[in-house]
Structure 1
Amino acid sequence: MSHVTGTVQPASLKIGPDFGPSTSPNTWTVNFAYTPAPTGTKLVMLHFTGASFPANNRLEVDLGYAGGEMDVFTSVDGTDFWTRPVNVYAVGATVTIRYITNGAATGGVQIDQYGRGERHTKDPANADAKFNSLSNSDPFLGDPTYPEPDYATFWFCNDPPNWENAACIAPAGDTRNVVAPSVGMILHADFSNQLGFFLSTCSVTLVSPDTIITAGHCMQDPIEDVKSASVIFNYATNCNGTRQGGYSGRFFKVKEVIRQRFADGSANDYCLLRLKVPPAGLGITPRPMRIDLPAVSEQVFGIHHPNGAVKKLSIPHPGFAMVTSQGVNGIGVSLDVSGGSSGSGLFDTAGRITGVLSTGVACGLRYFPTYTIQQDIATPPAITRDVMLVFDRSGSMSLPGTSGLTKIEEARAAASLFVQLVRAGTGNRVGLVSFSTTASSPVDFPLASVTAGSKNTLIGPSPFTGGIMGGLAPGGSTTIGGGLNAAYGQLPPGGPNSSFRNVLLFTDGLQNTPPMVDPANTSPTDIRIDAIGYGTPASLDGAMLTALATIHRGQYVLADTNLKLQKFFALAFGNIFEAGLVMDPEFVLPEGQTTAAPIPFSVCEEETITIIVGWDTRDAGLLIELTTPLGASVTIGSPGTQSSASRTWTFLRVPLPHAGERDGTWKVTVFRAGGIGEFAAPLPEVRYFINVVVSGGATLRRMPDTAKYYTGDVINPLVGLQYLQGGLPPNAKVKVTVSRPDASVGNLLSQEKLGPPVVINADTIPPRQATLMAIEARTGKPVVGYAQQTYDLFDDVVNTNSPEPAGLFGNPLKDLLTMEGNYTFHFQATYGDTCTAARELLWSLHVDPGIDPSLTTITSSVSGGTGTITLVPKDKYGNNLGPGRGDGLSITGAPGTIVTGPVRDNGDGSYTAPVNWNPSSGNGPGVVIGQPSRPPVVVHDPNVPGRDRCRKWKVLFWLMVLVALVLFLLWLLK
């Protein structure tokens, strides 16, 4: 949870007939003495284990609540459970526990630990002084006047914070007074590597008679967390902080998790919990969840329990805060909150909850909208998927690939691997639409259930190089938008898999024929798009593919070799249908060698492993052998396995457990048959990859990030690691290796000068890409090389902006984006307790040069107020934007300058604009340069100052000073 408010202490106590004689007939009574906290004990909550309740035996625990209310446990509560918090001010130094027999003379329970509420300093993992705090979560209010905590100020927009005690709200009928009783604080036992087990709090809101809502990150391991969780709604004081007359704090036990979403690759951050409600009910009116998004500038307020303190209202009445931004992934607002405020509600003036506090920084909080939550809970998790393959067959696909075959031959083989990997008869559906000048109409293969027959129609029988896919031929220009629109038509909402609709886009080039893709268009919002680009920066529009995939919750990857192309189609299968990837290394099997060294990998909790091997030489015929942890051999044809093979790939799928084996170290060995005959040709060198794709266990997903990145920007590559059913894998560690460009394409093209476009099989390649392709053809190597850097990722608030470690991992990288081009992020995660598991994730990102006004050069040629301005745009590292980038720029006049016509691209990295300039403006000739999603910059010609309209007055001033000085000297000479 979001704030530490106590510790968990060990204990050893046994009670019941199995452990000794009774203290009275049918009753075993123990007064459990807890160890007082050094700073004073606020509450205790007991953990029982090994419970046995034969017949109708039961356990009673006195809580110190009004009316003698107690916790009663029976066999329906299982063998492991927690009490609600005990009011130590009422029960004193001991808690009375009774084991009562009723129908059986055996049974008993044990106490092995207890939670102890006490004042607590910050989590030591947060070194920043803004996290310094000292809690005082005292829900039973032991002091006549409540001492406020020392609050962590990290989320403060104002210091002191602009909030007030919720008890100060007036009049009684004010909406905020109506809302306040439904706001509560949840308390449970949590765990971190730094602190071990501890008590922690978040804020909640009652949204139905027995249901509360909070943030998903507050219940990071929901199945375990709910066992110890309890909620209090009446934790409040008088306005002046004094204890209310007759106050008696009362907790209600959390019964079950309804649904929790967080760190699963979506922006979702919410948790719905069901309470154990007494027969008379809670006596609290729930708050309705708003079904639409609040408007920007709409009035809102928040009520919360910061640092486990009594209820606070942000901002103080009678004022309201205003919504600063809104969307399906978040409502932006500036309020003061602190640790423990997470999960609290943002309310509108009608008293409806509009969102739960998710994340943010000072003056910029984000609440996850109830609008989105209600859509999500209305759609149960699907176990099947719909996928439309959108396949490029434009003229450039007739060019040679990296294996000696044409690009289209390589791509058809890679796509057939994807199709063959999808299990038949599972409810998944796959379709195909191809495009060149237009999209195929009707589509090549309408969306249909994956069966043996539909696979045969789509990719043919073994070796899966035929069917509809095998008949696709290159020719024509490129309409990526046309292909996508045709795919969308096959994925209407309301179908059997409508909540999991996917597009897998493959292309080797740039769109040049309408309809064009507008990467800023989020429609359709509920279709995920993954994109695979095949080629180099010379042939791909990485910026468009990055934006398209990102805004549609998918991933873009750049494949610069045939081997990576096959690998990334296999990776797409793992990301769409399975839990993901365990490993994906590449190797070389040397000339003449038949067997590679075994490669180990770990299995921990997975349900299926699929070993995929692809190679770069057609008909190399590589084979797979698996070795189990106990040394048994598993090969193609082994009982219970599935397998398939083509000319450039093979895979082996093994459901687990296999012959009783699951967790442990497995090994995969790649081998091939030796040459046959006395004069057999030597076996050639073969490059190959091994992908291990798994189902079950945890998933590693990229967190949503729709930002467009430029050189010089800070990027935080956030990922989430979580079990799909909820909960965090133990002992998780994540690192990322970034492949970054080592040269500036803008510099290279500025030196080379822009050449003309070229046409390849009716597919027009624009000048910029055509020039880069010509350079590659001339030099025999890609225009850009890549260097690698590895960074550790962390799960603390400084690196994730999440109020607590909850499955998010990040690291703001400040000096990574120094060159334009393609950056590939390769994440590697490990986790586990008694066994070790691994997950990997890859995605690519295109970065454009961010124009820097201090390094951009500008010259002007103006006579009589008319002329031209020529500029050479550069980024903060001195890299040229380069020629051919005019479509990504807006150039307008700076104050005193008017751009009078279209800007000319000079082909050498410079751009010339015709202008009118007013010398009397006080500014030199200048322009304003804009780039998408980036503040504009202003540059002036430093060599042409503007005419100073105040110059004559300055001259007169100094003349007067000179005259005064002369008169003064004459006076002295007298």
Structure 2
Amino acid sequence: MFKLVGHNLPYEDTVPVGGTKTVQVVFNPPVGTSTASPQTGTITINHNISGVPAKTINLSGTVVETTRILNIIPSGTLGFGKIGIYYKLTKAVQFINGGNSSLTVSNISITDPKYILETPVPFMVPANGGSKMVEITFAPTEVSIVEGQLTIDSDATNIVGPHELRGEGINPPLVDVFMVLDGSGSMNENTDGGLKKIQRLISAASLFIDLTREGLGDKLGIVRFDHPTVEYVTNLGVINASSKQTLKTKVGQIQPQGWTSIGNGLNYAFNELTNANISTATHKVVLLLSDGMENRPPFVDPVNGSPTITIPTQPVIEFYTVGLGLAENMNTTLLSNLAFNPVNPSKGYFHLTENDWYKLHKYFVSILSDTFEQYVIQDPVYYLGTGDTVILPVVIVDADKGATFVVYWTNADSSINVELLAPDKTTITQENAQSMTVKHMKGDLYEFYNVSFIPPSPWTDRKKGQWTLIIKGTQIPESANKERLSVSIITPSDISFKASLDKGIYSTGDTITLHAEIQEQGRPILADNVYVNVTGPNEGLGNVLAQAKLSATDFKAKLPLDSDSIYNMKSRKIAILQTIAQKQLINYSGNNIPLYDDGQHNDGAAADGIWANIYTNTKNEGVYTLDFKASLKSRLGESTTREKTLSTTVAVNKVDFAKTIIAVAKVPVDRKKYVGYNVTVIPKDSFENFMGPGYANIISINASGAELVGGVIEDNCGGYSQVIQIPESTNLNTVKVDVGVYNSQASFKLGEKAQSGVTTTVKPGYLWLFLLIIFIVFFMILVVFRWKKRP
């Protein structure tokens, strides 16, 4: 039972003086050896050392039973939940060997073909706790509950019975969508390409309507808002071919007027989405578009105690917000906050077009893809002249269930032709699309082809490979020179790409955590390159407005009063400065930030499909646009791409009172035997950024033992003032002044500020008394002077 390793007996060898020799002995009991008691033996070592007896070493070994114990985790039924038909979900079970000998799994069989074994067999599971992950995919093709059994053939010494599998194939979850569209007077403003803002909105909304699913039971409603008018363009109703045409017709009839009341528009949407008798889908979405700052109640953002709306928490509503135009012309903090979902940050985004008007269509397509669980493969931008051709190759992989190729452009007078070339070299045009079982639609600023790969589509077995989009500039207006156009290719796919941030809005200097989740069939997949192109402002709006001084004449004469600025002097100042400069006030620049899945960059565990990194260059206030891009490998090794764009706002909302300017000036007041002081606050953050004008509603100035005269007044340059009055006999050092800006607080004694640089003014009502005193003093000086001059 005991044998020398590598040697036959008798074994002789020589050990040098001071040296050593190692001999290995193995215990190798034959089959059938009793396990009841230890087996023994001896090694006798004879040597030539005189006077030293031979050396004997006792050997002992116990025979144990060979075990290969197979345990499976989870031990019960492996549940896949509800999966849309023709989609796939992969889950893993863990095979663990609790025995003392390696275990071999020779075969695994599954009773229902809708369950697919992804792990090759046979395979070995190491002893003593060794494990092997076995992947199983559920791929339903019909609406039903699917039960199956996993049977395992192995040399396990324990009994391993069948493992139960359970999943349910369902139709895609229904969606109820409400579009809340700005119909205020500013939507009549002109844009590039000879179109008004409202015309661009009508086109983008029509594209969204055209792209929605038909015949499944999804619902769409539209409300337009201004002030005083808020109305349903259409109530929430089922989407079908007929209703789509009605929706587009009614959207086309929107006439801009009045002021901006975002709260009223949202309330109308909430009234229907929260009514269980009207909105029956579990997935509810609001798409809000606005081009300006809300200036009529009810407000979403509180303004000086004005009425506000209540955002419902149940049912959960996803928000997607779009700012049409420049960041300085709207409350981007409000739009960012509305769109952020702290429970699921990858659901709900804020987008800003700036003056890149084609982006309105881009963002409506992106929101539609999120709404209906689709993903953007590519969305490049091109410049196209008359006679130019753009050729865009697009790779479709096995995981993709369909593809929509959308082209959109800037000028309504541009004539553009779009064709699609399939992998088998079939050319699809607007003339033959229907006969090819391809959906084709064309609007005034867009054109698209939609191809389904779900059976019984004729493209099911012809989808994989390179599709080619061919875009030709048939006639581009001379005024445009080159047409700026973009393309979005979206797909319902088993490969998901979800981008998210960790907050709705940020303060200057905050760190933005960038996240991207990449999976196929619910499992992580490989990516070659994942990064984010971050574009941010070169200067904050608060700084621009604080440093730009405008006279009263400028405020009155430079620009006619309009609906967005008649009651909002910040909006008016911005508009005047834009008119003077003939350009946008804020410029932007960008850089690329790589994302990692190594467990060291806020990304969780390594290789878990979560890619992340941080962005720290946020010292400037404003809107930051983040373009997430990924080059991926599918489970079958196919190369593909995914993209997602979203925006967020960085605000000057952490005031640093060490940098903030606080001044006190003595001023006259009406009340007798009282003295007035004007307390002025010019808020700044730790980077010396001015908060700027437009925030009087979040500034508070109070003083103990003093009375407030009126409210907080702003100077439209970032300064906020409050007049207080106290009895003349009051000791200024007993008056405590409290200043609040957002959640920041500071206090000081009135005497501390009033002693340095007190300014004195004269009340106009007592001017005659002041002049009389001056005259008397002057007269007395003259008399004294003449008296001294007498001989």
TM (norm. structure 2) is 0.68
Corresponding position of 1:535 = 325
Corresponding position of 2:241 = 452
Q: Is the aligned partner of 1:853 residue 2:641?
A: no
For residues 804 and 482 of structure 1, the distance between their equivalents in structure 2, rounded to whole angstroms, comes to 47
CA contact (8 A) 2:410 2:485 kept: yes
For residues 555 and 749 of structure 1, the distance between their equivalents in structure 2, rounded to whole angstroms, comes to 28
Secondary structure in 1 matching 2:123: strand
- Paired residue type of 1:912: S
Corresponding position of 1:478 = 260
Secondary structure in 2 matching 1:719: strand
Shift of the 652–801 alpha-carbon distance from structure 1 to 2, 3 Å rule, reads closer
Q: Is the aligned partner of 1:112 residue 2:151?
A: no
Specify the structure having the higher radius of gyration (Cα): 2
Shift of the 930–573 alpha-carbon distance from structure 1 to 2, 3 Å rule, reads same
For residues 914 and 925 of structure 1, the distance between their equivalents in structure 2, rounded to whole angstroms, comes to 14
CA contact (8 A) 2:737 2:747 kept: yes
Corresponding position of 1:909 = 718
Corresponding position of 1:85 = 96
Shift of the 666–99 alpha-carbon distance from structure 1 to 2, 3 Å rule, reads closer
Q: Deviations over 1:440-478 (max 9, x none)?
A: 44x22122222221112122xxxxxxx111111111112
- Paired residue type of 2:239: V
Shift of the 403–764 alpha-carbon distance from structure 1 to 2, 3 Å rule, reads farther
Shift of the 114–502 alpha-carbon distance from structure 1 to 2, 3 Å rule, reads same
Secondary structure in 1 matching 2:268: helix
Q: Deviations over 1:736-771 (max 9, x none)?
A: 111111122112111223646964269846111111
Secondary structure in 2 matching 1:713: coil
Q: Is the aligned partner of 1:823 residue 2:624?
A: yes
- Paired residue type of 2:338: L
Give the alignment of 1:270-281 within 5 angstroms.
none
Select which of 864, 867, 871 maps to 2:681.
Answer: 871
Select which of 579, 589, 611 maps to 2:374.
Answer: 579
For residues 663 and 229 of structure 2, the distance between their equivalents in structure 1, rounded to whole angstroms, comes to 47
Secondary structure in 1 matching 2:215: coil
Shift of the 716–630 alpha-carbon distance from structure 1 to 2, 3 Å rule, reads same
CA contact (8 A) 1:412 1:470 kept: yes
Uncovered stretches (5+) of structure 2, i.e. residues with no partner: 1-30, 32-65, 77-90, 109-119, 136-146, 153-157, 303-308, 668-673, 756-791
CA contact (8 A) 1:434 1:444 kept: yes
CA contact (8 A) 2:103 2:126 kept: no
CA deviation after TM superposition for structure 1 residue 692, in Å:
0.7
Secondary structure in 1 matching 2:512: coil
Q: Is the aligned partner of 1:63 residue 2:89?
A: no
CA contact (8 A) 1:602 1:665 kept: yes
Q: Is the aligned partner of 1:746 residue 2:542?
A: yes
Q: Is the aligned partner of 1:503 residue 2:286?
A: yes
Shift of the 252–703 alpha-carbon distance from structure 1 to 2, 3 Å rule, reads farther
- Paired residue type of 1:840: E
Q: Is the aligned partner of 1:660 residue 2:450?
A: no
- Paired residue type of 2:698: G
Secondary structure in 2 matching 1:701: strand
- Paired residue type of 2:718: G
CA contact (8 A) 1:84 1:251 kept: no
CA contact (8 A) 1:857 1:872 kept: yes
Secondary structure in 2 matching 1:456: helix
CA contact (8 A) 1:869 1:925 kept: no
For residues 296 and 251 of structure 2, the distance between their equivalents in structure 1, rounded to whole angstroms, comes to 23
CA deviation after TM superposition for structure 1 residue 689, in Å:
0.7
Corresponding position of 1:772 = 574
CA contact (8 A) 1:904 1:911 kept: yes
Corresponding position of 1:693 = 490
CA contact (8 A) 1:709 1:846 kept: yes
Select which of 299, 303, 309 maps to 1:516.
Answer: 299
Q: Is the aligned partner of 1:625 residue 2:419?
A: yes
CA deviation after TM superposition for structure 1 residue 610, in Å:
0.6
For residues 797 and 840 of structure 1, the distance between their equivalents in structure 2, rounded to whole angstroms, comes to 23
CA deviation after TM superposition for structure 1 residue 420, in Å:
1.0
CA deviation after TM superposition for structure 1 residue 427, in Å:
2.1
Shift of the 511–632 alpha-carbon distance from structure 1 to 2, 3 Å rule, reads same
For residues 382 and 483 of structure 1, the distance between their equivalents in structure 2, rounded to whole angstroms, comes to 29
For residues 692 and 570 of structure 1, the distance between their equivalents in structure 2, rounded to whole angstroms, comes to 9
Q: Deviations over 1:677-732 (max 9, x none)?
A: xxx99995311111111111322234474553111111213333334x52223336
CA deviation after TM superposition for structure 1 residue 494, in Å:
5.8
Select which of 351, 354, 361 maps to 1:566.
Answer: 361
For residues 942 and 651 of structure 1, the distance between their equivalents in structure 2, rounded to whole angstroms, comes to 67
For residues 433 and 946 of structure 1, the distance between their equivalents in structure 2, rounded to whole angstroms, comes to 54
For residues 570 and 563 of structure 2, the distance between their equivalents in structure 1, rounded to whole angstroms, comes to 18
CA deviation after TM superposition for structure 1 residue 579, in Å:
1.5
CA contact (8 A) 2:501 2:514 kept: no
Uncovered stretches (5+) of structure 1, i.e. residues with no partner: 1-23, 25-59, 72-79, 101-108, 119-137, 139-186, 192-222, 229-248, 260-378, 460-466, 948-974
For residues 652 and 884 of structure 1, the distance between their equivalents in structure 2, rounded to whole angstroms, comes to 46
Shift of the 674–718 alpha-carbon distance from structure 1 to 2, 3 Å rule, reads closer
Corresponding position of 1:593 = 387
Shift of the 97–398 alpha-carbon distance from structure 1 to 2, 3 Å rule, reads closer
- Paired residue type of 1:513: R
Select which of 581, 595, 609 maps to 1:793.
Answer: 595
CA deviation after TM superposition for structure 1 residue 534, in Å:
0.4
Corresponding position of 2:85 = none
CA deviation after TM superposition for structure 1 residue 83, in Å:
7.6
Corresponding position of 2:213 = 423
For residues 427 and 436 of structure 1, the distance between their equivalents in structure 2, rounded to whole angstroms, comes to 30
Secondary structure in 1 matching 2:627: strand
Secondary structure in 1 matching 2:243: helix
For residues 98 and 722 of structure 1, the distance between their equivalents in structure 2, rounded to whole angstroms, comes to 30
Query: Number of matched residues?
Result: 608
The CA RMSD measured in Å over matched residues stands at: 4.3
- Paired residue type of 1:728: P
Farther off after superposition, 415-424 or 799-808: 799-808
Secondary structure in 1 matching 2:721: strand
For residues 604 and 705 of structure 2, the distance between their equivalents in structure 1, rounded to whole angstroms, comes to 46
CA contact (8 A) 1:84 1:253 kept: no
For residues 81 and 749 of structure 1, the distance between their equivalents in structure 2, rounded to whole angstroms, comes to 58
Corresponding position of 2:16 = none
Shift of the 732–897 alpha-carbon distance from structure 1 to 2, 3 Å rule, reads farther
Corresponding position of 2:408 = 614
Corresponding position of 1:488 = 270
For residues 655 and 753 of structure 2, the distance between their equivalents in structure 1, rounded to whole angstroms, comes to 23
- Paired residue type of 1:644: M
- Paired residue type of 1:739: T
- Paired residue type of 1:794: Y
Secondary structure in 2 matching 1:568: helix
CA contact (8 A) 1:621 1:648 kept: no
- Paired residue type of 1:469: V
Give the alignment of 1:894-933 within 5 angstroms.
902-914=711-723, 927-931=738-742
Shift of the 252–672 alpha-carbon distance from structure 1 to 2, 3 Å rule, reads same
TM (norm. structure 1) is 0.56
Shift of the 927–715 alpha-carbon distance from structure 1 to 2, 3 Å rule, reads farther
Shift of the 573–631 alpha-carbon distance from structure 1 to 2, 3 Å rule, reads same
Give the alignment of 1:86-235 within 5 angstroms.
86-88=97-99, 92-93=100-101, 111-114=122-125, 189=133
CA deviation after TM superposition for structure 1 residue 479, in Å:
1.4
Q: Give the percent of matched residue pairs that are identical in Structure 1 and Structure 2.
A: 23
Corresponding position of 1:151 = none
Secondary structure in 1 matching 2:513: coil
Corresponding position of 1:360 = none
CA contact (8 A) 2:220 2:236 kept: yes
- Paired residue type of 1:652: Y
Select which of 887, 899, 919 maps to 2:697.
Answer: 887
CA deviation after TM superposition for structure 1 residue 916, in Å:
7.7
Corresponding position of 1:405 = 195
Secondary structure in 2 matching 1:548: helix
For residues 889 and 510 of structure 1, the distance between their equivalents in structure 2, rounded to whole angstroms, comes to 19
- Paired residue type of 2:640: A
